A and B are shown apart, each in its own frame.
Chain A
Amino acid sequence: SQTIHQWPATLVQPVGSPLSLECTVEGTSNPNLYWYRQAAGRGLQLLFYSVGIGQISSEVPQNLSASRPQDRQFILSSKKLLLSDSGFYLCACEGATEAFFGQGTRLTVV
């Protein structure tokens, strides 16, 4: 089965600073990859998904962007963070019948 590596686990960044969260996948090739944001105690809000290298679909307009430079690498970025970007970010990989998740990144923008 797939293994998702996501880092860092926690991050505190000042408003206006850049962001780069990285996600890598093992155990599969050409996976569908996702970035989600989650408010405390709530469901997952889909931010971006990718079906292949260089192919990014955005679900909601926002201050964030995503890139997929390699088959098993998915990066979430921002040029200038806003306070409202704080949250719990999850990277996921789609398996045959389920999704596999990274451990998540707790981002606090101060």
Chain B
Amino acid sequence: TQLLEQSPQFLSIQEGENLTVYCNSSSVFSSLQWYRQEPGEGPVLLVTVVTGGEVKKLKRLTFQFGDARKDSSLHITAAQPGDTGLYLCAGALGNQFYFGTGTSLTVIP
């Protein structure tokens, strides 16, 4: 069962463009994380959001947790080639982590 659906699955944009990645669920999560993964390596945590409606900024990345704690978004402003990678959302539900389907981002110089 896939509790967290991400969209889009694949995204290819030009350097300097803006983009938004969505992470949606019908379940309520106590917290939600975003990870970025390079090929051949494990995911690395970017941010954790815990409060409904919470917005966190990390340089050009803006993360938002939905008011009902069922969804989240990641917005990247002026994307750079270094932003290329796989972006994963994950939520804590009960005593287990659940990961999203992933969004593979390619930023073309």
Q: Footprint of B on A, CB under 8 Å? A: 4, 6, 32, 34, 36, 41-44, 46, 49, 51, 88, 90, 92, 94, 97-99, 101-104, 106
The B interface is mostly helix, strand or loop, or mixed, namely strand
87-109 of chain B: CB within 8 A of chain A: 88, 90, 92, 95-102, 104
Which one of B9, B10, B48 lies within 8 Å of A98 (CB-CB)?
B48
Q: Given the known A-B contacts A41-B102, A90-B42, A103-B41, are A98 and B33 also in contact in the complex, defined by CB atoms under 8 Å?
A: yes
Within the complex, what minimum Cβ distance (angstroms) separates A92 from chain B?
A: 7
User: Tally of A-B residue pairs with Cβ under 8 A?
Assistant: 62
Q: Most chain-B Cβ atoms within 10 A of its Cβ — which of A32, A43, A51, A94? A: A43
Sorted from nearest, which 7 A-B pairs have the closest CB atoms? A101-B42, A43-B102, A41-B104, A44-B99, A43-B101, A97-B48, A98-B45
A104: chain B residues at CB < 8 Å are 40-42
Let me know if A97 and B33 touch, CB within 8 A: yes
B66: chain A residues at CB < 8 Å are none
Q: Is B31 an interface residue (CB 8 A)?
A: yes
Q: Given the known A-B contacts A97-B48, A104-B42, A106-B40, are A92 and B102 also in contact in the complex, defined by CB atoms under 8 Å?
A: no
Within the complex, what minimum Cβ distance (angstroms) separates B61 from chain A?
A: 16
CA separation between A86 and B102, bound complex, in Å? 19
Q: Given the known A-B contacts A32-B95, A104-B40, are A44 and B45 also in contact in the complex, defined by CB atoms under 8 Å?
A: no
Q: In the complex, what residue of chain A is closest to B4 when comparing beta carbons? A: A43
Let me know if A99 and B33 touch, CB within 8 A: yes
Q: Is B13 an interface residue (CB 8 A)?
A: no
Q: Most chain-B Cβ atoms within 10 A of its Cβ — which of A6, A97, A104? A: A97
Within the complex, what minimum Cβ distance (angstroms) separates A63 from chain B?
A: 21
Q: Is B73 an interface residue (CB 8 A)?
A: no
Let me know if B96 and A49 touch, CB within 8 A: yes
Q: Is B86 an interface residue (CB 8 A)?
A: yes
A4: chain B residues at CB < 8 Å are 42
